[in-house]
């Protein structure tokens, strides 16, 4: 068994759904696109994107001596869907426990195993944090391509995944990069309720429902008001429209099962939810980071009181 096979096998044993490998190298070819993106201020106040540009383009600045990138995916598609009738809608990734803690714990175990097994290697892990371009490295590792909705799509398993990235000094055989298979399809672009995908492969964050329901605690643009469609945390519309998500495989991870008490909520219960009840139900959820006041505001914009 090769070292790649051993790593992949161990990653799957930790609950990751897919694992691939890429050669760590500078990403200078992306500089013009990235700097144009920042200059146009499409990130709507997400100022962390301005920081650490050089580290994003040069992984050796994060880990001197880096040779390879290991990319992993973790499926979060729920076994059971929350009812949408007379209900507010949550993005499916928020049904269970907070993914960042889960991903970081699993990645830390994989890094410990890597550095213990290889002795002289050094590795660093990232999961939706730190200056790494997760989707690009996942694509270079053969795990999928960045679709027209800007989300990573795996050809056989769709797009309902979290991405983890490990930089390592180990020299690993790279996989073949995944190629774009979107073709002429525009279903995700056509489905977006706010026209946030008016340009393929480019997300207008200022129009994105996920940004406004999860992160924006200020004024909601007129272009977005009235288009929440009962959504109070996240969206998923573009992913649900994607043909590669026709029959997604449910996750086998119990941590992503529906939180206790969440299945019982309908619009009347949501509207009467106290802050104490909110904190109890969402204590270990990504939703708690958004906060009670913002979720209540979202209810009003989505058709609640």
| 200-228 pLDDT, tens digit each | 999 999 999 999 999 998 899 998 999 99
Cα distances (angstroms) measured from residue 305 to each of 5, 80, 110, 190: 54, 28, 46, 30
Cα 177 from chain centroid (whole Å): 20
Given this model, what pLDDT does residue 305 score?
43
Angstrom distance (rounded) from CA 215 to CA 219 = 11
Q: Give the percent of the chain with pLDDT over 70.
A: 95
Angstrom distance (rounded) from CA 263 to CA 36 = 44
Closest CA to 91 of 262, 246, 222: 262
Q: Are 101 and 274 contacting, i.e. CB atoms less than 8 angstroms apart? A: no
Q: What are the structural domain ranges in the chain? A: 3-77+98-168, 187-301
Q: Are 150 and 205 contacting, i.e. CB atoms less than 8 angstroms apart? A: no
Q: Are 24 and 167 contacting, i.e. CB atoms less than 8 angstroms apart? A: yes
Q: Which residues of the chain have pLDDT under 70?
A: 37, 40-50, 304-305
| 57-68 pLDDT, tens digit each | 999 999 999 999
Q: Are 231 and 264 contacting, i.e. CB atoms less than 8 angstroms apart? A: no
Given this model, what pLDDT does residue 298 score?
96
Residues in the chain: 305
Angstrom distance (rounded) from CA 267 to CA 275 = 16
Q: In 3-state terms, what secondary structure has residue 258?
A: coil
What's the start-to-end Cα distance of the chain, in Å? 60
Angstrom distance (rounded) from CA 234 to CA 298 = 11
pTM (whole model) above 0.75: yes
Q: For the purposes of burial, counting CB atoms within 10 Å of the CB of 148, is it exposed (0-12), middle (13-18) or buried (19 or more)?
A: buried
Given this model, what pLDDT does residue 118 score?
82
Handedness of CA 206, 132, 57, 174 (dihedral sign): negative
Cα 228 from chain centroid (whole Å): 20
Q: In 3-state terms, what secondary structure has residue 277?
A: helix
Token output for 224: 């977005």
Angstrom distance (rounded) from CA 226 to CA 230 = 10
Angstrom distance (rounded) from CA 70 to CA 53 = 21
Angle of helix 99-118 versus helix 3-13 axis, rounded to 10:
150
Q: For the purposes of burial, counting CB atoms within 10 Å of the CB of 254, is it exposed (0-12), middle (13-18) or buried (19 or more)?
A: exposed
C-beta neighbour count of 95 within 10 angstroms: 24
Please list the active-site residues. 128
| 131-144 pLDDT, tens digit each | 999 999 999 999 99
Token output for 39: 């200059």
Eight-class DSSP state of 256: G
């Amino acid at each position: 068994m090769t070292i790649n096979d051993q790593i992949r096998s161990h990653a799957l044993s930790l609950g990751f759904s897919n694992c691939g490998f890429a050669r760590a190298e500078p990403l200078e070819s992306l500089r013009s696109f990235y700097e144009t993106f920042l200059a146009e201020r499409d990130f709507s106040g997400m100022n962390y994107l301005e920081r650490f540009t050089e580290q994003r383009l040069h992984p050796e600045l994060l880990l001197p001596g880096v040779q390879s990138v290991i990319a992993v995916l973790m499926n979060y598609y729920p076994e059971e869907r929350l009812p949408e009738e007379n209900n507010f809608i949550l993005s499916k990734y928020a049904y269970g426990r907070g993914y960042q803690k889960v991903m970081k714990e699993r990645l830390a175990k994989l890094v410990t195993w890597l550095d213990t097994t290889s002795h002289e290697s050094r590795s660093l892990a990232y999961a939706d944090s730190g200056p790494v371009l997760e989707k690009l490295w996942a694509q270079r590792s053969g795990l999928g391509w960045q679709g027209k909705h800007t989300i990573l799509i795996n050809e056989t398993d769709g797009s309902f995944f979290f991405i983890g990235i490990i930089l390592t000094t180990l020299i690993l055989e790279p996989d073949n990069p995944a190629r774009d298979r979107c073709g002429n399809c525009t279903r995700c672009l056509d489905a977006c309720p706010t026209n946030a995908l008016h340009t393929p492969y480019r997300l207008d964050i200022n129009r994105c429902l996920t940004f406004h329901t999860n992160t924006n605690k200020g004024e909601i643009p007129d272009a977005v008001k009235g288009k929440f469609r009962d959504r109070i945390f996240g969206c998923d519309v573009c992913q649900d429209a994607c043909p590669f998500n026709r029959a997604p495989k449910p996750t086998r991870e119990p941590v992503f099962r529906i939180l206790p008490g969440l299945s019982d909520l309908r619009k009347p219960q949501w509207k009467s939810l106290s802050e104490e009840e909110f904190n109890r139900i969402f204590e270990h959820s990504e939703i708690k980071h958004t906060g009670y006041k913002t979720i209540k505001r979202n209810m009003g914009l989505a058709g609640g009181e």
